[in-house]
Copies of this chain bind each other. A is one copy, B any other.
Amino acid sequence: MKRGASHPRLLQDLPTSLDEEQVEELLRTPHLRIERIVSTGQASAEGDWYDQSENEWLVLLSGRARLRYEDEDGEIELGSGDAAFIPAHRKHRVTWTSPDEPTVWLALFWPQT
């Protein structure tokens, strides 16, 4: 990520193969955390659900992924520019990310109020 912390280039110099997802914190305040997450085919383990204490809002900057909610049938297909708001404690899984290109998530987290 070039140009330092104030002007990161989030789609440059991406890894093409990772043992596990790469999480990089971009900004943190008492009420907001911004992360860039890079996936190269990773998905949640079968039967595992994220059950987060924080609210999350995410958007795909590149790549493709699929989300599933425990309380909803079917999957949400996400491509570049597709966003999702996931309230705290709404259980969800990442069922798939593209193995063919890096999938770059921009994820915002903030405390449940």
A interface residues (Cβ-Cβ under 8 A, vs B): 3, 5-12, 26-27, 29-32, 34, 55, 57, 59, 61-62, 76, 80-85, 104, 106, 108, 110, 113
Contacts and interface: CB of A to CB of B under 8 A. Distances in A.
A49 B92 CA distance: 42
Contact of A59 (B55, B61, B85): B61
A30 B80 CA distance: 28
12 contacts: A7-B83, A7-B84, A8-B83, A9-B82, A11-B80, A26-B83, A30-B113, A59-B106, A61-B61, A61-B80, A62-B81, A108-B108
B27 A85 contact: yes
Residue of A10, A12, A31, A59 most packed against chain B (CB within 10 A)? A59
A39 to B, nearest CB: 15
